[in-house]
Amino acid sequence: MSVRSLTSIAALAVLAAAAPVAADNHAEANAAPPGDADTRYCMRVEPVTGSLVERIMCMTRKQWAQQGVDLDEDWPREGVRVEA
């Protein structure tokens, strides 16, 4: 094997070892921001049937949970803003 091949293999090994750590940090960074019981989290929701207008709803963490929504899981895709 050439030195170039060994260098490439070593670089790939380092990236592969770091990938799980990077994924864990990425997941934490994308969770909904912390807040108190009154903090409202605004997220995109499905539009009313027949409408193309995007709807945004703002509810507390508890209200989202009552609707069956995992705020931390959906926040990276649907989160818009936080209202204190």
Exposure b/e, 1-17, CB count within 10 A at least 16 = b: eeeeeeeeeeeeeeeee
Opening angle at CA 12, ends 11 and 18, nearest 5: 95
**What confidence tens digit (pLDDT) does each residue in 2-29 have?**
444 434 454 444 444 444 444 343 445 6
Confidence (pLDDT) at 57: 95
Q: Are 44 and 55 in contact (CB under 8 A)?
A: yes
Question: Cα dihedral sign for 50, 55, 60, 64?
Answer: positive
Q: How many Å apart are CA 24 and CA 28, to the nearest integer?
A: 6
User: Is the overall model pTM greater than 0.75, yes or no?
Assistant: no
Structure tokens at 7: 């260098």
